[in-house]
Chain A
Amino acid sequence: MKILGYVRPDGKVGIRNHILVIPSSVCASEVAMRIASHVEGAVALPNQHGCCQVGADLDLTAKTLIGLGKNPNVAAVLVVGLGCEGIPTEKVAEEIAKTGKKVEYIIIQDCGGTLKAEEIGTRIVRNMAQEVVLLKREEVDISNLIYSVECGGSDTTSGLASNPVAGYVSDKIVDLGGTSMFSETTEIIGAEHLLARRAVNEEVAKKLLDIVSRCEEKAKTMGVDMRGGQPTPGNIEGGISTIEEKSLGCIYKGGTKPVQGVLEYAEEPNGKGLYVMDTPGQDIESITGMTAGGSQIVVFTTGRGTPTGSPIAPVIKITANPETYQKMIDNIDFYAGTIVEGDETIKDVGERLFKELIEVCNGKLTKAEALKHREFGMYKLISTF
Chain B
Amino acid sequence: MKKLAVVINPKDNVATAVQDLKKGQEVIVDLHGKTDNVSLLSNVPFGHKFALEDIELGKEVIKYGEIIGRTTQTIKRGEHVHVHNFESLRGRGDWGEEGK
User: Which A residues are within 8 Å of any B CB, using their own CB?
Assistant: 155-157, 159-160, 189-191, 194, 216, 219-227, 230, 236, 238-245, 248-249, 303, 321, 323, 340-342
| Nearest CB on A from B77, distance (A) | 18
Q: Provided the pairs A245-B68, A248-B66 are in contact, do residues A342 and B91 lie with their beta carbons within 8 angstroms? A: no
Tally of contact residues, B, Cβ under 8 A: 33
Give the contacting residue for B86; candidates A194, A240, A241; CB below 8 A. A241
Q: Report Cα–Cα, A239/B81, bound state, in Å.
A: 9
The reply to whether B91 and A230 form a contact with Cβ atoms under 8 Å apart is yes
The reply to whether B94 and A236 form a contact with Cβ atoms under 8 Å apart is no
Give every chain B residue within 8 A of A241 (Cβ-Cβ): 49, 61, 68-69, 81-83, 86, 88
CB nearest neighbor in B for A190: B90
Beyond A159-B8, A239-B16, A239-B45, 20 additional pairs, beta carbon < 8 A: A156-B16, A156-B49, A216-B90, A223-B94, A223-B96, A225-B94, A227-B87, A241-B49, A243-B90, A243-B91, A244-B66, A244-B67, A244-B68, A244-B90, A245-B68, A248-B63, A248-B64, A248-B68, A340-B6, A341-B18
The reply to whether A341 and B90 form a contact with Cβ atoms under 8 Å apart is no
CB nearest neighbor in A for B67: A244
Q: Report Cα–Cα, A230/B83, bound state, in Å.
A: 12
> B76 near A: Cβ within 8 Å?
no
User: Which B residues are within 8 Å of any A CB, using their own CB?
Assistant: 2-3, 6, 8, 16-18, 45-49, 61, 63-64, 66-69, 81-83, 86-96
Q: Report Cα–Cα, A340/B66, bound state, in Å.
A: 20
A-B contact pairs, 20 of them (CB 8 A): A159-B64, A160-B18, A189-B90, A216-B90, A219-B93, A220-B93, A221-B93, A222-B93, A224-B93, A225-B95, A226-B88, A230-B91, A239-B17, A239-B46, A239-B49, A241-B83, A241-B86, A242-B69, A242-B88, A244-B90
Give the contacting residue for B68; candidates A155, A190, A224, A323; CB below 8 A. A190
Q: Report Cα–Cα, A194/B3, bound state, in Å.
A: 29
Q: By CB atoms of chain A within 10 A, which of B45, B63, B87, B91 has the most?
A: B91
Give every chain A residue within 8 A of B16 (Cβ-Cβ): 156, 160, 239
| Nearest CB on B from A160, distance (A) | 7
Give every chain A residue within 8 A of B49 (Cβ-Cβ): 156, 239, 241
Q: Report Cα–Cα, A340/B46, bound state, in Å.
A: 11
Q: Provided the pairs A160-B6, A303-B47, A341-B3 are in contact, do residues A227 and B88 lie with their beta carbons within 8 angstroms? A: yes
Q: Report Cα–Cα, A248/B67, bound state, in Å.
A: 9
| Nearest CB on A from B30, distance (A) | 10
